[in-house]
């Protein structure tokens, strides 16, 4: 979503990154271009003007023009101001109480119910006992949708399909959760419009009765400045604790992510990154600022890796590598681990200096399909014994997977090279390993 903004900011700041003489004139020009880029990204004009005025004041106050590395210093100032604009630091949810009660409110079509299930999955991974409460009695099939999503993550849903009183359903859900040892109860309420007075009063009453430990407002990031406006209206009514921006993986300009904290004065706590049940991330203003400036987001990438990381599986794979027994069954297992981390393009975009360059390239989860098709066409014996894949077997694999014989050959060749590299790396584990590695590197010069 923010790729265009990243490209615009990078272009605006090039003259201050060693590609031109640093003067007061081009610093002022760069600041003006940054303001235009922010406004074009749908950032509120007053917010864009305020933040660029702060950048200008800071730049001149810190003597950017006479600094040893003026471009780097200016980039640091912009990074600091963008981070501050989005809240400065990550804000945690309040999960006090026994049980903790999280009230989720939002507009129609903002992805509120899907987020509710994603949040349950997020908390379940933290070993918390979660209960979902289906309190949307107005939208057809809303209860069924929540139950379907909850079934994918094995989380219980409390529902009373015949009850038309959402306040009573919420109270009963909390009572049921307490009786059954649930540590977190997430209340999924009906989507509503800011102009719908009866539903606005209803959500106010639900909050008053439940006294939740955390109230989250879900808003569609693709609605731009409308998202900021509605967030402010809802905050005036229910005084929520944090904002959730869904559909941040979409194609809109994304200015809401930059404006909402300054206008509403409430932190963004989660962002939606994909349609999958693990497609949410805690919002880190500093990491988002890094991504916007093309610095990547290695810390979030590490977080994703840790979430997908299976220690038992890693030990099993490492043992097979040591014995030189890594096969196609292990290879496909590693692909599944990578796919758990999320959208491939999003992951690559977290690498420094790469994200903005890939905005015109189509990278998606289908990238692994040819490999999976070929491996799935192998017999169990072939997967466990890659060396038996002779010419006739390869032709059969090509026909069975719908891929070309060249693709099959390339995969088997690359797999063989990977196994050789694993064998070499295995030699340097244990006593004397570092000396062997140094010797090999010296020979390679």
Query: Binning pLDDT at 50, 70 and 90, where does residue 430 land?
Result: very low
Q: What is the mean pLDDT of the chain?
A: 79
Supply the pLDDT for residue 17.
60
397 is in an annotated binding site: no
110 is in an annotated binding site: yes
Cα maximum dimension of the chain: 78
Supply the pLDDT for residue 101.
96
312 is in an annotated binding site: no
pLDDT at 176 over 90: yes
117 is in an annotated binding site: no
106 is in an annotated binding site: yes
Supply the pLDDT for residue 440.
44
Q: Side-chain half-sphere of 270: how many Cα atoms within 13 Å? A: 28
Query: Binning pLDDT at 50, 70 and 90, where does residue 445 land?
Result: very low
Between these two residues, 286 and 213, which has the higher pLDDT value? 213
Supply the pLDDT for residue 351.
53
CATH of domain 308-443: 1.10.260.30
d(CA 160, CA 172) in angstroms, rounded, equals: 9
Average confidence (pLDDT) over 88-92: 86
80 is in an annotated binding site: no
Between these two residues, 360 and 118, which has the higher pLDDT value? 118
Average confidence (pLDDT) over 15-44: 75
Residues in CB range of 369: below 8 A, 6 or more apart: none
pLDDT at 436 over 50: no
Best-predicted range by mean pLDDT among 194-198, 279-283, 334-338? 279-283
Query: Binning pLDDT at 50, 70 and 90, where does residue 417 land?
Result: confident
Supply the pLDDT for residue 295.
62
123 is in an annotated binding site: no
Average confidence (pLDDT) over 72-100: 85
Supply the pLDDT for residue 289.
81
Average confidence (pLDDT) over 46-71: 77
296 is in an annotated binding site: no
Q: For the chain, what is the radius of gyration of the CA atoms?
A: 26
432 is in an annotated binding site: no
190 is in an annotated binding site: yes
pLDDT at 346 over 80: no
191 is in an annotated binding site: yes
Between these two residues, 148 and 274, which has the higher pLDDT value? 148
379 is in an annotated binding site: no
Supply the pLDDT for residue 322.
74
Q: What is the DSSP letter of 88?
A: S
247 is in an annotated binding site: yes
Q: Are 62 and 81 in contact (CB under 8 A)?
A: no
pLDDT at 72 over 90: no
Least-confidence region, from 37-46, 124-133, 189-198, 365-374: 189-198
Between these two residues, 324 and 115, which has the higher pLDDT value? 115
Between these two residues, 163 and 429, which has the higher pLDDT value? 163
248 is in an annotated binding site: yes
pLDDT at 16 over 70: no
Supply the pLDDT for residue 45.
83
Average confidence (pLDDT) over 342-366: 54
Closest CA to 109 of 26, 190, 208, 15: 190
Query: Binning pLDDT at 50, 70 and 90, where does residue 230 land?
Result: confident
Supply the pLDDT for residue 435.
47
Least-confidence region, from 3-7, 173-177, 238-242, 281-285: 3-7
Given 1.20.120.140, 1.50.10.10, 1.10.1060.10, 3.40.50.1370, which CATH number is that of 3-85? Answer: 1.20.120.140
Q: Are 154 and 102 in contact (CB under 8 A)?
A: no
Supply the pLDDT for residue 433.
45
Query: Binning pLDDT at 50, 70 and 90, where does residue 399 land?
Result: very high
Residues in CB range of 165: below 8 A, 6 or more apart: 137
Domain segments of the chain: what residues?
3-85, 100-295, 308-443
pLDDT at 361 over 60: no
Best-predicted range by mean pLDDT among 14-28, 57-71, 145-159? 145-159
Find residue 244's DSSP bridge partners.
Answer: 218, 270
**Superfamily of domain 100-295, CATH level 4:** P-loop containing nucleotide triphosphate hydrolases (3.40.50.300)
Average confidence (pLDDT) over 353-359: 49
pLDDT at 356 over 60: no
402 is in an annotated binding site: no
DSSP 288-353: HHHHHTT---HHHHHHHHHHH--HHHHHHHHHHHHTT---HHHHHHHHHHHHTT--HHHHHHTSTT
Query: Binning pLDDT at 50, 70 and 90, where does residue 368 land?
Result: confident
Q: Cα dist. 391→8, 371, 395 in Å? A: 51, 18, 6
């Amino acid at each position: 979503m923010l790729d265009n903004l990243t490209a615009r900011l990078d272009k605006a700041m090039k003259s201050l990154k060693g590609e031109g003489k640093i003067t007061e004139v081009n610093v002022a020009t760069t600041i003006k271009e940054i303001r235009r880029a922010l406004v074009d990204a749908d950032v509120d004009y007053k917010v864009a003007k305020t933040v660029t005025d702060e950048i200008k004041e800071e730049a001149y106050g810190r003597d950017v023009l006479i600094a040893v590395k003026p471009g780097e210093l200016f980039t640091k100032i912009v990074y600091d101001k963008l981070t501050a604009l989005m809240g400065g630091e990550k804000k945690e949810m309040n999960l006090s109480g026994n049980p903790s009660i999280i009230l989720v409110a939002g507009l129609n079509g903002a992805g509120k119910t899907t987020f509710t299930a994603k949040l349950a999955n997020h908390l379940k991974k933290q070993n918390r006992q979660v209960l979902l409460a289906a309190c949307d009695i107005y939208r057809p099939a809303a209860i069924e949708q929540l139950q379907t999503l909850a079934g994918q993550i094995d989380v219980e849903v409390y529902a009373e399909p015949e009850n038309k009183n959402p306040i009573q359903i919420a109270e009963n859900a909390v009572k049921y959760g307490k009786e059954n040892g649930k540590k977190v109860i997430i209340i999924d309420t009906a989507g509503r419009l800011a102009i719908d007075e009866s539903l606005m009063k209803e959500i106010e009453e639900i909050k008053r009765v439940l006294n939740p430990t955390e109230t989250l407002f879900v808003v569609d990031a693709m609605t731009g400045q409308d998202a900021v406006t509605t967030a402010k209206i809802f905050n005036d009514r229910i005084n929520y604790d944090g904002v959730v921006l869904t559909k941040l993986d979409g194609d809109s300009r994304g200015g809401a992510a930059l404006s909402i904290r300054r206008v509403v004065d409430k932190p963004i706590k989660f962002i939606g990154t994909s349609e999958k049940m693990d497609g949410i991330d805690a919002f880190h203003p500093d990491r988002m600022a890094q991504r916007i400036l093309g610095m990547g987001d290695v810390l979030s990438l590490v977080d994703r890796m840790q979430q997908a990381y299976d220690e038992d599986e890693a030990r099993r794979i490492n043992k097979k590598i040591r014995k030189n027994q890594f096969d196609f069954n292990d290879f496909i297992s590693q692909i599944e681990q990578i796919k758990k981390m999320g959208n491939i393009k999003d992951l690559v975009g977290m690498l420094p200096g790469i994200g903005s360059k890939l905005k015109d390239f189509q990278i998606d989860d289908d990238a692994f399909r040819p490999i999976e098709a070929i491996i799935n066409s192998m017999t169990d014996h072939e997967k466990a014994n890659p060396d038996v894949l002779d010419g006739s077997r390869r032709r059969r694999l090509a026909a069975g997977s719908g891929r070309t014989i060249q693709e099959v050959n390339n995969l088997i060749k690359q797999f063989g090279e990977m196994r050789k590299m694993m064998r070499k790396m295995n030699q340097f584990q244990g006593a004397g390993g570092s000396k062997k590695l140094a010797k090999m590197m010296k020979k390679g010069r």
